[in-house]
Amino acid sequence: MKNKTVKMIIAVAVLAVCCGGYAGVKTFVAKQEAKEESEEESKKTSVFTASADDIKSLDFLVDEKETIFEKRDDEWVKKDEEDFPVNQTTLSDAASALTSIESDRVLGDVDDLAEYGLDSPSNTIKITYESEKSEDKEDDADSTEDKETEEKTTTLYVGDENSSTSQYYVYKDDDKSTVYMVESSSIEPFTKTLYDYAQMEDFPVISDTDNINKITVKGDKSYELSKNTDTNLWTVKGDGDEEKADTATVSSLTTSFGSMAYNSFVDYKCKDKSTYGLDEPYAIITVDYTEDQKDTDSSDTSEDSSTGAETTDETQSEAAESKDTSEDTEVSDLEDSEKTVENKQLVITVGKESDDSNRYVMVNDSDQVYTMSEDTLSALTDKSEEDFWDMTVNYVSTNDLEELKVNYKGSDYDVNVSRETSEDDDGNEKETVTYKLDGSEVDETQFTTFYNKLINLAAQKRLTDEFKPETDPEMTVTFIKEDGNKLEAEYYSYDTNYYAVKVDSKIYLVNKMTVKELFTAFETLTGTEN
């Protein structure tokens, strides 16, 4: 027992030594890594250092053309085009990328700049910045006096990119014998196109697309969608008569205006629309909508309040009396003035295709040109009135139906609808509806099953060519409404896939199996199943 205890003590001691050794090794490794990192940092050579706030000008090649951006009153401007809409964030980020450029590899005594793509630099970045005067640097560091500054310039010549290290070859100023390898993050902000440095306008997105009342498209395919603001139902009109539009199809289109966006900025001040095909537009899209506006105007009552102490007792009495008589009117007027509805319009002029298969656009009265996705625009411009037609073959609510006449396979049937209103035990009115087929009451479920199939019949497409049936219709349905209006639908076998349903002058093509199900439901209602 004693020997076991001794062995256990020895084992614990060995373990403790090992743990201590491991901790020591871990600490040693960490210190070595830190030392190596410090040595690596110390090996780096400073290429350029300046505060971003001190950088006053950036002169570099953009689209192979010398371009100068200057900072004026803390705002970046394009020197030769002061109205150019400079993206302040992009230019500030570019300046920040230059604040501390270091190289971890310096190539000295370079004879052949072509080896590094520096015989003909891909870019030349001239940095103008403010720096303390040399004599000021020798002054007491604790001096509180303002330091004098002087303007300096440093020019970086950019060669090839080393793809394996993600670094660029650079030489500085006139020293062509020394080449630095610098991180791509310092150079890539200067590899953009001109309009990457421009601040594009926000596309005027319609925040509430439910407020769209009208959409007009003029082009190779022209149409007009209009909403009845009382019923929220849409109609479509092209070359033909105005027709009821499919709500779901229109809704999908209106929703797209809530997420439209520009792809790229092309021209901030277009002088020649023909360059982009905007002088003779491919299409013009006009959207009429409303927008709720809060009325920010309010009467200033502070003067009355400040002079109230000087009013006479008589005046105060009169004011008190008038307050009681006008209070309700004032509250009502305030509520009405808090929110007004403003009619607004969005106009998108669509030009020719760009090189990236998008299209050039101008919006509203702006003279700026952008590109937009062809897919986004084609959802509007490639449609015609036919794409929006409501494909409901015939819809008459049972609430409006008085009589239904059906001719099926040469036999006539007549369904009459009667309604009786009565009161229940609680005094509430209730309506009882009775359906009679040729004078005999029929099961309500059987009738509504057939009738729902009848009024919910939806076509796959409509015929626009002349339709000349060679046979009599298999079924003719005549709806007689309570207001006396009639609607007639004729069902013809069209081909192996469709039935042709004629309603007024419109010819709908309906899936054949769907119509067969309708016929079967009617046979069940009439008891004429085979």
CA distances from 525 to 433, 442, 451, 478, 520 (A): 17, 8, 10, 17, 9
Number of Cβ atoms within 10 Å of the Cβ of 385: 21
CA distance 78 to 88: 11
pTM over the 0.85 mark:
no
End-to-end CA distance of the chain: 101
Token reading at 151: 């303007």
Mean pLDDT of the chain: 86
Amino acid in the structure at residue 336? D
pLDDT tens string 356-385: 889 999 999 999 999 999 999 999 999 999
pLDDT over threshold 90, residue 308: no
Per the domain annotation, does 345 fall within a domain?
yes
DSSP 370-422: EEE-HHHHHHHHT--GGGGB--B-----TTTEEEEEEEETTEEEEEEEEEEEE
Predicted confidence at residue 431, as pLDDT, reads: 84
pLDDT tens string 283-297: 999 999 999 877 655
Token reading at 81: 């085009």
Query: Which residue, among 296, 263, 287, has the nearest Cα to 207 in the 3D structure?
Result: 287
Examine the domain organization and report whether 124 and 229 are in the same domain: no
Predicted confidence at residue 426, as pLDDT, reads: 78
Token reading at 267: 């021209």
Per the domain annotation, does 493 fall within a domain?
yes
Mean pLDDT of 97-101: 97
Per the domain annotation, does 203 fall within a domain?
no
519 vs 22: which has the higher pLDDT = 519
Range of the domain at 93: 46-133+148-197
CA distance 206 to 226: 17
Examine the domain organization and report whether 409 and 512 are in the same domain: yes
Q: Are 278 and 360 in contact (CB under 8 A)?
A: yes
Examine the domain organization and report whether 338 and 484 are in the same domain: no
Per the domain annotation, does 414 fall within a domain?
yes
pLDDT tens string 386-410: 999 999 998 999 999 999 999 999 9
Examine the domain organization and report whether 370 and 449 are in the same domain: no
Query: Which residue, among 361, 344, 343, has the nearest Cα to 352 in the 3D structure?
Result: 361
CA distances from 32 to 25, 29, 35, 41, 261 (A): 10, 5, 5, 14, 53
Examine the domain organization and report whether 252 and 107 are in the same domain: no
Number of domains in the chain: 3
Q: Are 470 and 484 in contact (CB under 8 A)?
A: no
Mean pLDDT of 461-489: 94
Examine the domain organization and report whether 427 and 383 are in the same domain: no
CA distance 395 to 401: 10
431 vs 414: which has the higher pLDDT = 414
R_g of the chain computed on alpha carbons: 41
Per the domain annotation, does 450 fall within a domain?
yes
Q: Of how many residues is the chain composed?
A: 530
Examine the domain organization and report whether 335 and 481 are in the same domain: no
CA distance 198 to 88: 8
Predicted confidence at residue 295, as pLDDT, reads: 63
CA distance 154 to 131: 12
Between 188-202, 328-342, 369-383, the lowest mean confidence (pLDDT) is in 328-342
Classify 449 as helix, strand or coil: helix
Q: Write phi, then psi, for 209 (nearest 5 degrees).
A: -70, -10
CA distance 520 to 280: 56
CA distance 491 to 475: 5
Query: Which residue, among 358, 349, 366, 194, has the nearest Cα to 269 in the 3D structure?
Result: 366
Examine the domain organization and report whether 116 and 228 are in the same domain: no
Mean pLDDT of 13-20: 50
Question: Which secondary-structure segment (H or E) carries 377?
Answer: helix 374-381
Per the domain annotation, does 142 fall within a domain?
no
Give the CATH number of the domain where residue 104 resides: 2.60.40
Per the domain annotation, does 164 fall within a domain?
yes
Examine the domain organization and report whether 362 and 439 are in the same domain: no
Query: Which residue, among 503, 408, 518, has the nearest Cα to 463 in the 3D structure?
Result: 503
Examine the domain organization and report whether 216 and 193 are in the same domain: no
Examine the domain organization and report whether 228 and 351 are in the same domain: yes
Per the domain annotation, does 304 fall within a domain?
no
Examine the domain organization and report whether 215 and 192 are in the same domain: no
Q: Which of 388, 412, 436 corresponds to the end of one domain?
A: 388
pLDDT tens string 424-465: 777 788 888 999 999 999 999 999 999 999 999 999 999 988
CA distance 496 to 512: 7
pLDDT over threshold 60, residue 299: no
